[in-house]
Structure 1
Amino acid sequence: MSQQGRLNISDNDDRRVLQEQSAEDYSRHVVPLAARTGRWSLAMASWSVLSALFYLYISVAVAQAVGTRSALLGIGLSIVFYGLINYVICQRSIKNGLSVALLSRGIFGGAGAVISSLLFAVTAMYYAVFEGSIIAVAFQQYFAPGSDIRWWYLLVVLYALPLVMGGIQAWMDKLNGALLPLYIAGLATVIIMAGSRFGFSTNFLSLEGHVDTNLPGWLWAFIVYMGICVNMMVTAEFSRFGKPQDANFHGWVTYGPLFYFALFAVNGVAGIFIMDTVFPGLQASEQGIAEAVLKSSGVIGLLFILVSQTRINTANYYMASLNMAGFAARAFGLRWRRGIWILFVGACVYSLMLTNVFSYLLKALAWQGVAVTSWVAILLTHYAIYPDASRDEFRPGRVKAVMPGAWAIIASTVLGIMIIELGPKGAWFVEIAPMLIAVVAATTYWLLTRFTFGGRLARLSDPRNDVQDPWRYHIECHVCNRSYSAIEMDRDSSHNQEAICTGCGEGNAAFLHAVKVESDGMVGQRSNLAT
């Protein structure tokens, strides 16, 4: 047994860490209690999702498919569904302070966490392309209909990048907080002007459906909304900055039923009214929503689109850059600052905009939706199996490369894509595919966890056991010479068992090899003793 290195323990936060991570947003570390943000600051940053035109569009598409009444009933069920699940995710994330990538490592393993980071980053980039394209098209149509759309795409990308350089704790919260009243006032103004110009009517509440489905209309609508499970990854990513004393507020307001009432119901009814009033009978599209806004309210509508899409794209670029940074660090050992990854994400978004994006974007999002639905189902099953947040292991030297969650998400995602691509259109199992995917993912993960070894590595000692409170006390890392919460610290088997932080352990080949050798040796000793 190697002699353990001495731990440099402190009960004070490292000021260098707090300053450095104000822009990096702890992308590779646990968020310490001292870095948690105020309730309204976090709410303003998180509510950037509220203003996506996507949620106006999807309500119109669903209402046109199954009728307004069935759509509204499905939306009501979705509010309850999303509100309760996000309440659970929010409470757990506040307790453990883990990003999506760190959380994924303890469920899917080291390799699985890499896949999760890439999945979330690419999904966020696709949404940034989708929403950014709306601003560009609106600018082009209003200012210069005959101009080259590529210049408007470039403008949209360039003005968005500086807005997320500082992260949640710098000014993203302040920006979105200032824009929220403008979004609310803008939406109300667009509704009033649409009604004034084209006539107020209740016809939008009586749309008839035209989709031939074997399911009740309300269930069809609910399943469509169920496919937007990426919001649950957003909750996990943002809510880790919440203070424990604000957990109930965030659970009900910031990420819970109140938020989803505004997101689904208010935006939904507004979208159905605006589209049916301005373009009655026209098939829904997100570009169609933007055109309806412009036609009804002119320059005010343009400002509304600018404000709404600016708010949502701060979230898209933030999540894409954060998870791309995590992916590169874990997969390739690249520990560049998040600002560099923001520029990289901007370049990727602009490149995608230059392609015929709408020809393949919805297909790509459908495939990713399958994987995200599986991820959420596995996460909730994990929480059910391990209700104690202290069991959320995430340190790179404590988990195997592949854990039960990795096999579960692969099986359910492959099955989901096969159903989408090969299933006959209109078949019952195709229409309820999200439900089937969630059940398969949850069941597979439960069975693998129940009947196989969980995938955690046996280790000689744990720095958490050397302090009274792993959240209050901090331990200095021998690699970066920074002190982080003891909750994320480990022993470096490749360097005299000295302390090493989670960020320095990621992608560290010598460290990961040494802990595997240590774990294999301990397992071998136990086997010899047993025989």
Structure 2
Amino acid sequence: MTETMREVEAGATRELRRYAPLAANDNREDYSLRFAAVSFRRWRPFVVATAALGGIAYLADFAIGASIVLSFGFTSGVLAILAAALVIFLTGIPIAAACARSGVDMDLLTRGAGFGYLGSTLTSLVYGSFTVIFFSLEGAIMAQALEMALHLPLWLGYLVSTLIVLPFAMYGMGAIAKMQTWTQPLWIAGLILPFVVIAVREPGRFAEFASFAGTDGTHGSFSAVGFGFGMGVALSLIGQIGEQADYLRFMPPKTAENKRAWWTAVIAAGPGWVVLGAAKQIGGAFLAFCALGVVGAAHAVEPIAPYVEAVRPALGPMAIALSALFVVISQIKINTTNAYSGSLSFANFFSRVLHRHPGRVWYVLVNCGIALALMEFGAFGFLNKILGFYSNVGIAWIGALVAHLVIVKPLGLAPPYIEFKRAYLPSINPVGFGSMVIASVVSIVAFFGAFGQTAAAFSPLLALVIAMVLVPLFAYLTKGRYYLKRPNTVAGPDVPAALLAGTHECLACGEHYELPDIADCPAHSGAICSLCCTLETTCGTACQEPGAEPVSLGMPTMKLS
């Protein structure tokens, strides 16, 4: 992963870590394991929001909505979708604001929000699995479109749908922002086209949809169990806030001048994604309903078939080709985000476990490789079961984070800032980590029917409630002592904000980083950056031993604007 080089200073020799070329390239690395430097956050709020919202172009929403409503009918299905959207929106607000304000991604946020340095490795895998699952579902949808339009075998379509996103995901935020901006108008036009065609030619279909009783005709009225199961499937999307946060960490600092634009962008691109997401789920269910008699129940949940049937009256012989083009654009937009966010998650996991970091780009390949394997094994056919199970773990994690941000921190039971550096964190914080594990186990047991059908249907909500109750309870019982191993005197809450834009040279790699990314290191007798701190293997926990004194770093080097 790294080599060392020798640097001579004042007659002394010290060895510096030299990162592999891909890890050292900031334009590709995108501060993947670090605080996003203020100097790097050069985009306007609107540009960041556009890049983040471009990532919600996925058509799995169509498939999810169709699966829910076809299974449980219009009344229970639509109410389930709307209820899940409300939960996702409310839980997404504090997470989006925290990531945008602190310049950290979901993994770094989780470390300091009650999980601990190694405790958050579990959530890295939870989040990584989210990106892999949805990459495979979206790739399968694209492969279905390529099979219909070009008669491409599904196995080859899966491969094409994987390879096509690699250039964008590998080049990072700069390339992704451009791609999302350029493709947005065409995607929006394609999204609304089928509904316009149906509204013009068959307006009565909307009223018919409102009385739809499911494919078996037995769900004409509200069913609490159907509502619960449908909500559980829709709540599997709660992890999407992590992908939004991976972009929101590049928001410029909030100032008096940009305050309104900043908050608009954060809300719209953070929790606001679910407004369009819920509309897409209901819209996908509607298209599936309209096409049900033509394509059958099996193909109605595959977005390409209902889409083609909806636009065929307007596009005629071009319907299949243009529909496939819309699907391909949608899949490039979302799977670029899935691959990018997954690379961050896997990089965070392996850097902590193996103390090695070859570069974020390598983990793009890991993410895409696992997703390709899932596609080849036919994950799309188990959509409801996969998402229903996943939502139990995902919502326990999100619930623990939200409880920390909106309850524990305001009560003063946790530090007032997000601390993500190994030098200051315990390995495990039972407040968040313990709450998530307990909530996940109980809800998964409920999901498999141990407590009856009703508890199984509402198991994700059970996970949310348990996590949000346990976090403040554990924080109170432990008096918050597991949040920090020692105070951060370098960039903690007592350091004047004016100094945080300054830099220190990392004595391990020789590069300069802004203060929030720097720790005082007894082993190096000076400053060390957060990533070098993560990768160190020889120092043990010298900085956290009883009696370890803070190392004076002197004044930071102030950058000239």
Alignment of 1:81-480 (within 5 A): 81-106=87-112, 107-144=114-151, 148-168=153-173, 170-193=174-197, 201-202=205-206, 203-209=208-214, 210-211=218-219, 215=224, 221-243=230-252, 244=254, 245=258, 246-257=261-272, 259-265=273-279, 267-280=280-293, 282-283=296-297, 288-295=302-309, 296=312, 297-358=319-380, 362-383=384-405, 384-387=407-410, 390-404=416-430, 405-423=432-450, 427-452=453-478, 453-459=480-486, 462-464=489-491, 468-469=496-497, 470-480=499-509
Moved more, 303-312 or 234-243: 234-243
Q: Is the 8 A contact 1:17 1:483 kept in 2?
A: no
Deviations 1:22-81 (A, max 9, x none): 321211111122222222221222113332112122222333344334544444444443
Structure with bigger helix share is 1
SS at match of 2:32: coil
Q: 1:58 aligns to what?
A: 64
Judged with a 3 Å threshold, the aligned counterparts in structure 2 of structure 1 residues 504 and 416 are, in CA distance, closer, same or farther, namely same
Write the letter of the residue equivalent to 1:421: F
Write the letter of the residue equivalent to 1:279: L
Q: TM-score, normalised by structure 2?
A: 0.81
Structure 1 vs Structure 2: percent identity of aligned residues?
22
SS at match of 1:454: coil
Alpha-carbon distance between aligned partners in 1 of 2:204 and 2:92, rounded to the nearest angstrom: 36
Q: Is the 8 A contact 1:90 1:247 kept in 2?
A: no
Answering whether residue 532 of structure 2 is matched by residue 504 of structure 1, we say yes
Alpha-carbon distance between aligned partners in 2 of 1:480 and 1:261, rounded to the nearest angstrom: 44
Q: Is the 8 A contact 1:329 1:507 kept in 2?
A: yes
CA RMSD of aligned residues (A): 3.0
Q: 1:34 aligns to what?
A: 39
Deviations 1:409-431 (A, max 9, x none): 11111112211124366x22112
Deviations 1:313-335 (A, max 9, x none): 11111111111111111111121
Judged with a 3 Å threshold, the aligned counterparts in structure 2 of structure 1 residues 276 and 460 are, in CA distance, closer, same or farther, namely closer
Alpha-carbon distance between aligned partners in 2 of 1:33 and 1:17, rounded to the nearest angstrom: 22
Alpha-carbon distance between aligned partners in 2 of 1:132 and 1:286, rounded to the nearest angstrom: 17
SS at match of 1:31: coil
SS at match of 2:423: coil
How many pairs were matched up?
500
Alpha-carbon distance between aligned partners in 2 of 1:288 and 1:458, rounded to the nearest angstrom: 51
Deviations 1:161-214 (A, max 9, x none): 11211212x120111112121111112223345677888623223212545985
Alpha-carbon distance between aligned partners in 2 of 1:461 and 1:52, rounded to the nearest angstrom: 41
Alpha-carbon distance between aligned partners in 2 of 1:287 and 1:438, rounded to the nearest angstrom: 28
Alpha-carbon distance between aligned partners in 2 of 1:85 and 1:357, rounded to the nearest angstrom: 28
Q: Is the 8 A contact 2:116 2:425 kept in 1?
A: yes
Q: Is the 8 A contact 1:46 1:254 kept in 2?
A: yes
Q: Is the 8 A contact 1:61 1:285 kept in 2?
A: no
Moved more, 437-446 or 200-209: 200-209
Q: 2:53 aligns to what?
A: 47
Alpha-carbon distance between aligned partners in 2 of 1:79 and 1:355, rounded to the nearest angstrom: 30
Moved more, 469-478 or 188-197: 188-197
Write the letter of the residue equivalent to 2:176: M
CA shift, 1:228, in A, is 2.2
Q: Is the 8 A contact 1:137 1:149 kept in 2?
A: yes
Q: Is the 8 A contact 2:74 2:212 kept in 1?
A: yes
Alpha-carbon distance between aligned partners in 2 of 1:362 and 1:269, rounded to the nearest angstrom: 16
Alpha-carbon distance between aligned partners in 2 of 1:71 and 1:361, rounded to the nearest angstrom: 16
Alpha-carbon distance between aligned partners in 2 of 1:101 and 1:151, rounded to the nearest angstrom: 34
Moved more, 360-369 or 378-387: 360-369
Q: Is the 8 A contact 2:523 2:539 kept in 1?
A: yes
Alpha-carbon distance between aligned partners in 2 of 1:519 and 1:411, rounded to the nearest angstrom: 34
Write the letter of the residue equivalent to 1:62: I
Deviations 1:463-490 (A, max 9, x none): 2379633532222211111222212311
Q: Is the 8 A contact 2:403 2:468 kept in 1?
A: yes
Q: Is the 8 A contact 2:105 2:246 kept in 1?
A: yes
Write the letter of the residue equivalent to 1:157: T
Q: 1:485 aligns to what?
A: 514
SS at match of 1:110: coil
SS at match of 2:504: strand
Deviations 1:429-469 (A, max 9, x none): 11211111111112222222111153144448622379633
CA shift, 1:395, in A, is 1.3
SS at match of 1:506: helix
Deviations 1:222-265 (A, max 9, x none): 554334211222233322111223431123322244x4322212
Judged with a 3 Å threshold, the aligned counterparts in structure 2 of structure 1 residues 457 and 220 are, in CA distance, closer, same or farther, namely closer
Write the letter of the residue equivalent to 2:443: G
Alpha-carbon distance between aligned partners in 2 of 1:433 and 1:400, rounded to the nearest angstrom: 31
Q: TM-score, normalised by structure 1?
A: 0.85
Judged with a 3 Å threshold, the aligned counterparts in structure 2 of structure 1 residues 80 and 462 are, in CA distance, closer, same or farther, namely same
Write the letter of the residue equivalent to 1:394: F
Alpha-carbon distance between aligned partners in 2 of 1:167 and 1:18, rounded to the nearest angstrom: 12
Write the letter of the residue equivalent to 2:307: V
Judged with a 3 Å threshold, the aligned counterparts in structure 2 of structure 1 residues 199 and 95 are, in CA distance, closer, same or farther, namely closer
Judged with a 3 Å threshold, the aligned counterparts in structure 2 of structure 1 residues 72 and 368 are, in CA distance, closer, same or farther, namely closer
Judged with a 3 Å threshold, the aligned counterparts in structure 2 of structure 1 residues 20 and 443 are, in CA distance, closer, same or farther, namely same
Q: 1:516 aligns to what?
A: 544
Q: Where do 5+ consecutive residues of structure 2 fail to align?
A: 1-20, 313-318, 551-561
Moved more, 151-160 or 345-354: 345-354
Write the letter of the residue equivalent to 1:353: M
Deviations 1:342-374 (A, max 9, x none): 122222222222223345565444333222101
